[in-house]
Amino acid sequence: MKVVLRADVKGVGHKGDVVDISDGFAQNKLIPQGMAFKATAGAEREAESMRKARELKASEEKAEAEEMASRMLDQTLSIEMKAGEGGKLFGSVTSADISAALSNQKNITIDRKAIEVTDSIKEVGTYPVTVKPHPDVEFTISVDVVAEGA
């Protein structure tokens, strides 16, 4: 059965795609949940406009991510954490901590899932952290972890 997707469906396609799937999957899951509708001539024209809107939105998001990456190039982020003797932290610096610090210090909102902390940060020091706000845009920032009250 040919259907037009109203939403992104993992393993099937993206919003606006016309896909050929099994009748049972379409009638028992996608159509009742409002994730798709049966493809007709008019529906395929509507699907084309959905695809164009999706592509426009994706290009705007990529441009915004590239602009953010250029602003954050060679920037250092400072995070204060409680630390004990020898600079050992009580806990560790997480991607959520880095996201909050970006929001507070640089006025940039990035989801914590877009921040990749390769090695766990458990000591005072400077660490490189990869930020991937868009699938095609990636940049590295320097995170300087300092002891609270130091």
Dist. CA 128–CA 107, nearest whole Å? 20
Buried b (16+ CB within 10 A) or exposed e, 59-86: eeeeeebeebbeebeeeebebebebeee
SS3 72: helix
Instruction: List all residues 6 or more positions away from 59 whose beta carbon is below 8 Å from its beta carbon.
Output: none
Q: Which CATH number fits domain 2-60: 3.40.50.920, 3.40.5.10, 3.40.50.1950, 2.40.10.120?
A: 3.40.5.10
pLDDT in tens, the chain (150 residues): 889 888 888 999 888 888 999 999 999 999 999 999 888 888 878 888 888 888 898 889 889 888 888 888 878 889 999 988 888 999 899 999 999 998 898 888 888 999 998 888 999 999 999 889 888 888 888 999 998 875
What is the DSSP secondary structure assignment for residue 8, as one 8-state letter?
Answer: -
pLDDT of residue 69: 84
Question: Per the CATH hierarchy, to which homologous superfamily does domain 73-147 belong?
Answer: Ribosomal protein L9, C-terminal domain (3.10.430.100)
